[in-house]
Amino acid sequence: MRALVLAGHSVQVVATDAALRFVGRPTLEAISRNPVHTELYEGVAEVRHVAIGQAADLIVVAPATANFLAKLTAGMADDLLGNTILASRAPLLLAPAMHTEMWQNAATVSNVATLRSRGVHFVGPASGQLTGADSGPGRMSEPDEIAAAALALVGATQDLAGRHVVVTAGGTREPLDPVRFIGNRSSGKQGVALALAAAARGAQVTLIGANLEVDAPPHVTVVPVMTALELSSAVTDAAASADLVVMAAAVADYRPDAVASAKIKKETQGDELVLRLVKNPDILQALSAARLPGQVIVGFAAETETDRDRLLQLGRAKIERKGCDYLVLNTVGWTEGFATDGNAVVVLDRSGHIVGETTGSKASVADSILDSVVRALGAGVRA
Ligand code: C5P
């Protein structure tokens, strides 16, 4: 459950009475982050006995007992689990767990053969220590193995497994006084979608969140920051062990050179207020210059230029200046790019070639950006 949740999937638990004798409902709810379903005659108005199975992309039964295999072979639906499975067209993955004698019993052997012939998938059982003093075939496969089999069945690529990915997201705020700041309109949606997509592909993700307006995924490490200088220090720390750094945050180029300790008052300022701004460090440029061997660094360029050729020209000059490996180029305006659910991007490599181009939801754009950059990853910076 935890591995699937960490990979960004929504997990619904259907627990049998027997399951609840082994694991308490609060544990299942805390780990799956959803209410646990147990009763056939609950939620009848929403036709729950079939709705859960119909909505599922994959059903995993772990552990699958000898009794469960027999019931499934017979097509029985006397509980919520049986109903859920019969009402679903999703792939079904079973992780058997039982004593060796039960696994090798002619009835179980025949049931497994029947279920396999119907297209049911199995992971394990492994051979090893069983519940009592005995050991042998029948031990449930390790959770990581079950999760890997589950993810493979839904076609989830795990091309970032074992990698540390750092994503910056949101927009920095540069304070003028205790209540005001200079900021920008970045919501953080695209960066959060990238963090989620990287986690779903198996990465350990650190999300440096600058004033995010959207919820961060529950299973990534979030480092909240406010200003460009805070973001610089957080991303520099995280980059020390990162295979891939994606700088999706909109970082302020300038900050007020002094922050007033008390609220600036119009009564004392008069008709004009002059702000003096100083340049922030270019974090992307510094990270690229200090890049670890094998590390891949991706920058973003949000531009208001609408002419495609001129936009590409700006992008090519920017990647040259910044020294990063890839640059994700998108146009922003009063209505485009910010806080919207869709995006359109072009990905350039260091030589200025277009290596990817996508329009779609921020989730699909995130996946396509990762498709473009993942091939450049070397052996791994922590190898
Ligand atoms: O130069 P420009 O602001 O267009 O560059 C955008 C890219 O550079 C983004 O990836 C952004 O995160 C990064 N950036 C930075 N430090 C700054 C300004 C922008 O790392 N001070």
Residues 7 and 124 in one domain: yes
Strands (E), the chain: 13-14, 36-37, 59-64, 92-96, 121-122, 126-129, 135-139, 164-170, 174-177, 180-182, 204-210, 221-225, 244-247, 254-256, 277-279, 296-303, 326-331, 342-349, 354-361
Residue nearest to atom 6 of ligand 1 (CA): 301
Residues 121 and 14 in one domain: yes
Residues 251 and 336 in one domain: yes
Q: Could you identify the residue written with the tokens 């979030």?
A: 222
Residues 81 and 168 in one domain: no
Q: Is 280 in the pocket of ligand 1 (CB under 6 A)?
A: yes
CA 186–ligand 1 middle distance (angstroms) = 13
Residues 109 and 199 in one domain: no
SS (H, E, C) 152-170: HHCCCCCCCCCCEEEEEEE
Domain boundary among 153, 172, 197: 153
Q: Confirm whether 158 is domain-assigned.
A: no
* pLDDT for the residue numbered 124: 92
Q: Confirm whether 194 is domain-assigned.
A: yes
Q: Is 251 in the pocket of ligand 1 (CB under 6 A)?
A: yes
- Show the domain range for 198: 164-379
Residues 123 and 236 in one domain: no
Ligand 1 pocket: which of 167, 283, 303, 316 to mutate (most atoms within 8 A of CB): 283
CA 283–ligand 1 middle distance (angstroms) = 7
Residues 43 and 171 in one domain: no
Residue of higher predicted confidence among 287 and 7: 287
Q: In CATH, what number is assigned to the domain containing residue 78?
A: 3.40.50.1950
Residues 124 and 174 in one domain: no
Q: Confirm whether 159 is domain-assigned.
A: no
Residues 125 and 203 in one domain: no
Which of ligand 1's atoms lies nearest the C-alpha of 249? 12
Give the active site residues.
184
Q: Confirm whether 328 is domain-assigned.
A: yes
Which of ligand 1's atoms lies nearest the C-alpha of 300? 10
> Averaged over 115-122, what is the pLDDT?
94
Q: Confirm whether 191 is domain-assigned.
A: yes
Tally of structural domains, the chain: 2
| Confidence label for 383 from pLDDT (cuts 50, 70 and 90) | very low
Domain boundary among 127, 153, 179: 153
* pLDDT for the residue numbered 343: 87
SS (H, E, C) 257-315: CCCCCCCCCHHHHCCCCCCCEEECCCHHHHHHHCCCCCCEEEEEEEECCCCHHHHHHHH
Q: Confirm whether 80 is domain-assigned.
A: yes
User: Residues 266-293: pLDDT tens digits?
Assistant: 999 999 999 999 999 999 999 999 999 9
* pLDDT for the residue numbered 364: 87
Residue nearest to atom 5 of ligand 1 (CA): 301
Residue nearest to atom 8 of ligand 1 (CA): 284
Residues 301 and 334 in one domain: yes
Residues 183 and 143 in one domain: no
User: Residues 56-112: pLDDT tens digits?
Assistant: 999 999 999 999 999 999 999 999 999 999 999 999 999 999 999 999 999 999 999
Domain boundary among 153, 183, 211: 153
Give yes or no for residue 379 having a pLDDT over 80.
no
What count of Cα atoms within 13 Å lies in the side-chain half-sphere of residue 328? 31
Q: Confirm whether 81 is domain-assigned.
A: yes
User: What's the full length of the chain, in residues?
Assistant: 383
Does this model's pTM top 0.85?
no
Q: Confirm whether 123 is domain-assigned.
A: yes
Residues 262 and 294 in one domain: yes
Q: In CATH, what number is assigned to the domain containing residue 303?
A: 3.40.50.10300
| Confidence label for 340 from pLDDT (cuts 50, 70 and 90) | confident
